[in-house]
Structure 1
């Protein structure tokens, strides 16, 4: 019921597009733009693409633009849901990039959109195809960076939080077994951010792993 309400709310946010052509992806947009296409075997009809400028507009809103046959057809702030023939396109972002970009068919099956080969997501997908072993190791390192970085920083943060009087009265005080210098905490935070960014490039999002910081 809640999920249905969220989808209906997202659909109501849709604004009509202005018909402008889809801009070519430029290399300097690697860190600020995501561009994905709907490619399904045997699918006929208009072609769709989703363009997300992750930096947001002057008011900080992040928009997902839907292009149909190369022309801007509709737009909505993320999280966005665009009804299309045979299903809907769902787009969501996180602090570090894309969280979701999928076509959900009317029968409930899901297909991830295909990133443009010039985008950061497309380059990461190409690395996965050409060097699968290296790609898997990068994925493992990313998960470890997120777990270690976030875990150790939270462990140290728990000590001062536990000294707040209402918290102390409720759960007592906690003494962190780990005390790292500032430079180490900064390095761990950067490593966790890089790990989360790499996971976002592969549209890998799990609430129990990636929710912190998003």
Structure 2
């Protein structure tokens, strides 16, 4: 299944237009992610690959977005020159493996180099991006960073429990089900501030490339 998925994603990749990697601007903090990968070729040459991800471009507007500004949701650059572009999720071919890129509603959920032997490593974020700022915060204040990470995880787990209970309540409203198992009433309703906290927690985890399909999707 992984091989089929990768072939499908590789089939979406198109040639780049040869343009230069645009500079990262401060106002792009929540709309753009740029991450880098240094690779050494068998001949000993070192190339810097960069993946430029444009957020806030949904499936319905991607074609118009490309036609209007000449950009795809994701593009691969080698030494600052665009060589590939693609819709998301995608897998960009690079020497010795692929770069897998996927996003969620809250930001990046995966951007890793997967070598031919199966080993993986995350790409290095641009210093000015939200991923780069979060990584810098982690390096400067590791203990505080760990506490923040633990708190966001606890918030999402609590939101997950509440959402599951609300789902059971909605399910048992059906007469056919309530007749056999009774009507379940959730003792807790997720307040507005709880929803906001869940979204912010999911965004924080996305800046650290932490994504769990159950926790980060169902609970937010």
**When the two structures are superposed, what TM-score results if normalisation uses the length of structure 1?**
0.89
> Deviation string for 1:107-138 (max 9, x for gaps)?
11101000000100000000000100010011
Task: Quote the Cα distance in structure 1 between the aligned partners of 2:38 and 2:177.
Answer: 52
How many pairs are equivalent? 209
CA drift at 1:95: 0.9
**Unpaired segments of 5 or more residues in structure 1?**
none
Aligned to 2:15: 16
Which shows bigger deviation, 60-69 or 25-34?
Answer: 60-69
Alignment of 1:82-97 (within 5 A): 82-97=92-107
Worse-matched range after superposition: 156-165 or 113-122: 156-165
Indicate yes or no: 2:207 matched with 1:197: no
Aligned-residue RMSD, C-alpha: 2.2
Paired with 2:199 and 2:132, the residues of 1 have a C-alpha distance of 20
Contact 1:79 1:92 in 2 (8 A): yes
Q: Is the 8 A contact 1:150 1:189 kept in 2?
A: no
- Aligned residue for 2:67? none
Q: Write the distance in 1 (CA, Å) between the matches of 2:57 and 2:185.
A: 40
CA distance in 2, matches of 1:102, 1:14: 17
TM-score, normalized by length of structure 2? 0.87
Match of 1:143 among 140, 150, 153: 153
**Any conservation in 2 of the 1:142–1:195 contact (CA below 8 Å)?**
yes
| Change beyond 3 A, Cα 1:157–1:55 | same
Deviations 1:135-183 (A, max 9, x none): 00110111011112232243234323320235435754212222x4xxx
Partners of 1:170 and 1:105 in 2: CA distance:
53
Show the counterpart of 1:112: 122
8 A contact 2:52–2:76 mirrored in 1 = yes
Contact 2:38 2:46 in 1 (8 A): no
Query: 1:64: which partner in 2?
Result: 74
